[in-house]
Amino acid sequence: MKHLTFRFLGACCLIYLASCSKSDSSNVSKPQIQVGQLVSPSAPLSGSIKGTMQAGQTYTISGDVTINAGDTLFIQKGVTVNVTNSAAVIVKGMLVSQGTKDAPVTFTDPRRAKTTGTSTASSDSAYSGGWTGIYCDKTCPLLSLKWTHLDFAGAGLQNIPFQGPSTGDQYVIYFGNPSGYFILEDSWIYGSPDDAVRFYGGKVNIMRNTLEKCGGTGGDGFNAKSGTQGNMAYNLIIGGATNGTKSANDGGITPQCMIAMYNNTYVNDGFRNTGTFGARSGSIEVENNSRALVYNNLIVDCRFGVRIAGGNNVTAKVYLADTLPHNDGAGIQQTAYGHNFFYADDVSLANQFVPTKVAQAVVTTPQSTDIPNMAAFLGASYTFGAQYDGTSLVGQNNPQFVNYPLPNMNYQTQASVDGFDFHLKSTSPAVGKGTTSFTAFTNIVPVDPNFGSSGITGPGKDIGCYQIDGSGNQH
């Protein structure tokens, strides 16, 4: 009996664990929902738009389209939207793109084709902006993009759609509603001349996405300004011009900018910010009175490690992150970081695992939980921003990607996933080194199969966006 009981309990545990791990493969079809009238795919679209784009159809947007305030455009799975004439998608109402793993939605410029290998700002059309992008006004209550490809966007904005953006702005997504919800999950952004996503406020869940080739000669992956709170987690960001994820409370809009950045994988970021010779680029930047949680990130061959901006009362393009302890009930009580994993193939990169103050004052404290243990490496006498010799760190702690051989000296120009696979081998030193003892934003957006998040993934125990148990980034 004891054995039976033991076996029964063991089986229960296994079932329980299996159900927890979300790696079940059951694939029951969800009901397709339809909002308003169907949008006809027969004629190119421009002007105001609402209703539903029907599953599997191919649409053409040939001029700027506007979803008016109060209207909704619902895109069912498997839709392809070819955007021509550098058109823009203006969202004053609600936009929901409901792709699925098996039938993603694709927005693209049909003139452009993806390329692999070496990528530079003027040689690769990924940076030349095919269609304009998605611009969301203050009246947009929800932008939800799931399992959606946003390829070749970021053409210079030609028709200013509302007060805020300027002619020539070149983002893939501009989100301008501090009280709106912005959900970007399991999606892909391929190519942009500037920031892939610029947030001027919003309650956001930016989770399990893949960003490739974002920023031509500058530009961040996810660039959050004041009024923005939420998660940026489980994203794979490769070949970004400047930073992968950034928080900055610029603009003074309430609430204060607070972002939980965790379990992201940053590869080859920060080498195309040529105006400043990469001085302010890298992987993660927390600046200008914003608060952030920065844990469990895997940072490989990036120009800089985790930069917590400091201040010296004299110089700054950007300024001091909010590193003070608070007791104000906000989602993040104090900026904190640790359990981040760094790998570099060149000493100039290893010298910036803990960023130096050459370009700007920094207050990044070396963490003993980091891999390598930068607190131990730099010693107790280390002061913020001091230069150190990282020669001995070069090539150390290979994270053991499933298919991305390291060392790789093409880190400045390999800006896309191509055929590589950034999942961790089970033998990776990043496995199991993450912490799950912090709390991200768990209620920042509603969870809903159609009009909300499909699930806020909490901290993962493996560093990086791919978890050995199959959770995390699903790409």
Partner 1 sequence: MRKKALLPAVVLLLSFCTTSLLVSAQGADIGEISGHVYDAGTHEQLIGATILLQPGSKKMMSSLEGKFSYKGLRSGNYSITVTSQGYLKMDTSLFLPAGGNVKFDLFLRADAAALSAVIVTGKTNGETDEFARRKEQFSNNIVNIVSANTIAISPDITVANVMQRISGVSVERGNSGDGQYAIIRGMDKRYNTTLINGVKIPSPDNKNRFVPLDIFPAEMMDRIEVIKSLTPEMEGDATGGVMNLVMKNAPDKFRLEGNAGTGYSEIFFNRDFTKYSSSGISRKSPAEVRGPGVFASVNDFSYRNFMTSIGKPPLNSNFGLTAGDRFLGNKLGIIVSASYQNVYRGSNSNVMVQSPTGVPAPSADGPWVQTFSDVEVRQYSSRQQRLGLETKIDYEYHKHHSLSLFAAYVQLNEYRARHTIDTLLGGYSLNGYIGGFAIKDQIQTRTDLQNIVNTTLQGRDRWTEKFSSDWSLVYSRAKRQLPDIAEFSTGRSINPDLNAGTVTIGAPTVQNSSREWMHNTDQDLAAYLNLHESLLTIGSHRVDLSFGGMFRHKERDNYDNKYSLDPLTDPGSNYEQFISIPDSKFTFIPANHALGTASENAGIYHFNENVGAGYGQFRYAFSKKWEAAGGLRVEHTSQDYNSSLNASVEGKSASISYIDYLPSLQAKYSFDEKKALRLSYFKSICRPAYADLILFKDNSTNENYTITGNPYLQHTRIDNFDLRYEIFPRGLDELMIGVFYKSIKNPIEYALSKSSNTEQELKPGNFGNARNLGAELTFRKFFGDFGFSGNYTYTNSAIRSGKIKYYHDANNGTHYDSVAPKRPLQGQSTHIGNLSLLYKNPRAGIDAQLALVYTGERISTLSLYYGLDNWETATTFLDFSGQKALGRHYILYVKVNNILNTPYKVIIKQPNYAYQGDNKLPFQQSAHYVTAEYDRYYANYTIGVRFKF
Considering only residues 411 to 450 of the shown chain, the ones binding partner 1 according to CB under 8 A are 412-413
Q: How far is CA 45 from CA 80, 87, 377, 413, 451, in A?
A: 13, 10, 59, 37, 24
Rounded-to-integer distance, Cα 474 and Cα 120, Å:
28
Considering only residues 360 to 379 of the shown chain, the ones binding partner 1 according to CB under 8 A are 360-362
In 221-273, DSSP assigns E strands to 222-224, 228-233, 236-238, 245-248, 258-262, 265-267
Comparison of 58 and 348: residue with beta carbon closer to partner 1: 348
> Which DSSP helix (H) or strand (E) runs through 349?
helix 347-350
Name the token pair of 309: 């901006």
Q: Environment class of residue 443 by beta-carbon count within 10 Å: exposed (0-12), middle (13-18) or buried (19+)?
A: exposed
Q: Which residues pair with 203 in a beta bridge?
A: 181, 229
Q: Which of 317, 373, 439, 448 binds partner 1 (CB under 8 A)?
A: 317
Q: Which of 79, 89, 121, 211 binds partner 1 (CB under 8 A)?
A: 121
Considering only residues 275 to 314 of the shown chain, the ones binding partner 1 according to CB under 8 A are 275-277, 279, 288-289, 310-314
Name the token pair of 370: 């980091």
Considering only residues 322 to 351 of the shown chain, the ones binding partner 1 according to CB under 8 A are 322, 324-328
Considering only residues 447 to 466 of the shown chain, the ones binding partner 1 according to CB under 8 A are none
Considering only residues 10 to 69 of the shown chain, the ones binding partner 1 according to CB under 8 A are 66
Considering only residues 230 to 249 of the shown chain, the ones binding partner 1 according to CB under 8 A are 248
**Minimum separation from the CB atom of position 415 to partner 1 (A):** 10
Comparison of 120 and 435: residue with beta carbon closer to partner 1: 120
**Minimum separation from the CB atom of position 363 to partner 1 (A):** 10
Strands 133-136 and 298-300: unpaired
3-state secondary structure 426-440: CCCCCCCCCCCCCCC
Q: Which of 252, 432, 449, 470 binds partner 1 (CB under 8 A)?
A: 252
**Minimum separation from the CB atom of position 179 to partner 1 (A):** 16
Contact 404, 420 (CB under 8 A): yes
Taking the chain, what is the end-to-end CA distance rounded to the nearest angstrom? Answer: 45
Q: Does 359 bind partner 1 (CB under 8 A)?
A: yes
Longest dimension (CA), the chain: 76
Classified as helix, coil or strand, 258 is: strand
Comparison of 125 and 471: residue with beta carbon closer to partner 1: 125
Comparison of 193 and 331: residue with beta carbon closer to partner 1: 193
Considering only residues 212 to 231 of the shown chain, the ones binding partner 1 according to CB under 8 A are 216-217, 225
Which listed range, 22-30, 54-62, 98-106, 385-393, lies at the site for partner 1 (CB under 8 A)? 385-393
Size of the site for partner 1 (CB under 8 A): 77
Q: Which of 34, 84, 139, 274 binds partner 1 (CB under 8 A)?
A: 274
**Minimum separation from the CB atom of position 238 to partner 1 (A):** 15
CB neighbours (10 Å) of residue 419? 8
Binding mask 70-109 for partner 1 (x = CB under 8 A): ----------------x---x-------------------
Binding mask 153-192 for partner 1 (x = CB under 8 A): -xxx-xxxxxxxxxxxxx-----x----------------
For CA atoms 249, 253, 256, 261, give the dihedral sign: negative
Q: Which of 146, 272, 433, 475 binds partner 1 (CB under 8 A)?
A: 272
**Torsion from C-alpha of 249, 252, 240, 282, nearest 10 degrees:** -30
